[in-house]
Amino acid sequence: MSIFAIADLHLSLSANKPMDIFNGWDNYVDKIKLNWEKLVKKDDSVVIAGDISWAMALEESLADFEFINNLPGTKYILKGNHDFWWESRTKMENFFKEHNLNTLHIIHNSAAACENIAICGTRGWFYDAENDNKVLLREANRLNTSIIEAEKIGLQPIVFLHYPPLFDTQVCEEIMNVLKQHDIKKCYYGHLHGNAIKKAVIGKHYGIDFRLISCDFIGFTPVVVV
| Domain spans of the chain, in order of start | 3-224
First to last CA, the chain: 9
Handedness of CA 156, 216, 99, 108 (dihedral sign): positive
- List of residues 6+ apart from 43 with CB closer than 8 A: 1, 73
d(CA 51, CA 84): 9
> 108: which strand partners?
none
Q: What value, to the nearest 5°, has the Cα angle with vertex 93 and ends 89 and 99?
A: 150
Cβ neighbours of 21 (radius 10 Å)? 8
Inter-residue contact 10 to 162 (CB < 8 Å)? no
pLDDT for position 68: 98
pLDDT for position 129: 62
Q: What amino acid is encoded at 106 in this protein?
A: I
- Segment 1-60, tens digit of pLDDT: 899 999 999 999 987 777 877 788 999 999 999 999 999 999 999 999 999 999 999 999
- Segment 149-183, tens digit of pLDDT: 999 999 999 999 999 999 999 999 999 999 999 99
Handedness of CA 87, 93, 97, 98 (dihedral sign): negative
Handedness of CA 25, 26, 29, 30 (dihedral sign): negative
- Segment 58-88, tens digit of pLDDT: 999 999 999 999 999 999 999 999 999 999 9
- Segment 98-132, tens digit of pLDDT: 999 999 999 999 999 999 999 999 999 876 566 68
Q: Closest Cα partner for 196 from 164, 226, 156?
A: 164
pTM (global) more than 0.75: yes
Name the CATH superfamily for 3-224. Answer: Metallo-dependent phosphatases (3.60.21.10)
